[in-house]
Homo-oligomer: A and B are copies of this chain.
């Protein structure tokens, strides 16, 4: 059956968000992160929105190939680097730049010494300044930097970039986010050769510490119009690029005291109406959405009533008499920020956007 659930993505919103960041950080190169199929939006669908970006950062080599095939001629940076020779060869073939985060990846570069590559690769050397995920410890950093600097010069590659990743840039309390970011910035600055560029900031860094951003920024979630935290996307001037909506497929009358859904979680405090929406956790809506999580219907906010099931969810329509079978329900988008849904569910907008299931049909807003 044609289930009425749909996701609509808008490349123009992405374009507007890139311009917003360029206005905020004048003169800094903006390299949006398009990994995970453009954070669930569909890289092919939203590609036209990235035309104003200076470079694109990605994880999956297939995505890099798709970008080149679509006509992207500016830099592409592989964020986790190359894992083996086949990778390395493919990266060169696609004229990619890439991240080096450990000693093996660094020494792998030697295989490319003196080879004619047809372009000048730029290596992003990653420092672990407190995230403890990927990257060289600062104690090993100086030697790695010296080695790479000589290598790049000797082989006439582009000047490298020293990069790191903020761990706490999205914390609600300034005292929890500022000191570590400053320490991370300082560690990087102390090690960076003058002729190298720097790359520090993800979306949270860009919006919360623009002065610590470095030369090349890597916005991810902000590009898609959701907030990295702690403030709302709207307050940062960002426009959501995805709307998830469905329809009411059934309405149940409930009497005061009756219960709804698995575990009988929700109970009617008075006689009312329950709308059944064709959207469930197998579509990517979070199963743990509590009662009260907002949706938008007939121009107003209604809320989740009862546990989200696999293909359906139930909402309280008691105060929305005009709602009927066939009414559109916005699960997130312009009226219900994805971050607000995520907040109710104890997660972040990123996770929800990435989790839309393949069975949900996507549509793209076409520009006039």
The answer to whether the Cβ of A287 comes within 8 Å of any Cβ in the partner chain is yes
Q: Which of B80, B249, B359 contacts A311 (CB 8 A)?
A: B80
> How would residues 28 to 60 of chain A score, 1 for a CB under 8 Å from any chain B CB and 0 otherwise?
000000011101100000000000000000011
Interface SS, A side: loop
Which chain B residues lie closer than 8 Å to A254 at the CB level? 132
Q: Which chain B residue shows the least CB distance to A36?
A: B282
Q: A36-B359, A132-B258 are in contact. List 5 more A-B contacts (CB 8 A).
A: A1-B84, A36-B357, A168-B263, A287-B350, A354-B357
Which chain B residues lie closer than 8 Å to A131 at the CB level? 260-262
Q: Which chain B residue shows the least CB distance to A80?
A: B1
Instruction: Indicate if the CB atoms of A355 and B284 lie closer than 8 Å.
Output: yes
The answer to whether the Cβ of A156 comes within 8 Å of any Cβ in the partner chain is no
The answer to whether the Cβ of A82 comes within 8 Å of any Cβ in the partner chain is yes
Q: Which of B81, B171, B282 contacts A35 (CB 8 A)?
A: B282
Rounded to whole Å, the gap between the CB of A318 and the closest CB of chain B is 13
The answer to whether the Cβ of A297 comes within 8 Å of any Cβ in the partner chain is no
Instruction: Indicate if the CB atoms of A168 and B262 lie closer than 8 Å.
Output: yes
Instruction: Indicate if the CB atoms of B358 and A310 lie closer than 8 Å.
Output: no
Identify the 8 closest CB pairs spanning chains A and B, nearest first.
A36-B282, A132-B260, A282-B354, A287-B351, A1-B87, A1-B83, A132-B252, A281-B351
Which chain B residues lie closer than 8 Å to A364 at the CB level? none
Instruction: Indicate if the CB atoms of A263 and B1 lie closer than 8 Å.
Output: no
Instruction: Indicate if the CB atoms of B264 and A1 lie closer than 8 Å.
Output: no
> How would residues 97 to 140 of chain A score, 1 for a CB under 8 Å from any chain B CB and 0 otherwise?
00001100000000000000000000000001011111001000
> How would residues 76 to 102 of chain A score, 1 for a CB under 8 Å from any chain B CB and 0 otherwise?
001111111011000000000000011
Q: Which chain B residue shows the least CB distance to A252?
A: B132
Which chain B residues lie closer than 8 Å to A310 at the CB level? 35-36, 220, 350, 354
> How would residues 203 to 235 of chain A score, 1 for a CB under 8 Å from any chain B CB and 0 otherwise?
000000000000000001000000000000000
Q: Which of A1, A3, A309 has the most CB of B within 10 A?
A: A1
Residues of A within 8 A of B (CB): 1-3, 35-37, 39-40, 59-61, 78-84, 86-87, 101-102, 128, 130-134, 137, 167-168, 170-171, 180, 220, 249-250, 252-254, 258-264, 274, 276, 278, 281-282, 284, 287-288, 306, 309-312, 314, 346-348, 350-351, 354-355, 357-359
Instruction: Indicate if the CB atoms of A132 and B274 lie closer than 8 Å.
Output: yes
Which chain B residues lie closer than 8 Å to A281 at the CB level? 350-351, 354-355
Using A35-B282, A287-B347 as known contacts, say yes or no to A59 and B261 having CB atoms under 8 A apart: no
Using A36-B359, A60-B1, A354-B282 as known contacts, say yes or no to A134 and B287 having CB atoms under 8 A apart: no
Which chain B residues lie closer than 8 Å to A306 at the CB level? 132-133
Rounded to whole Å, the gap between the CB of A37 and the closest CB of chain B is 7
Q: Which of A102, A262, A355 has the most CB of B within 10 A?
A: A262
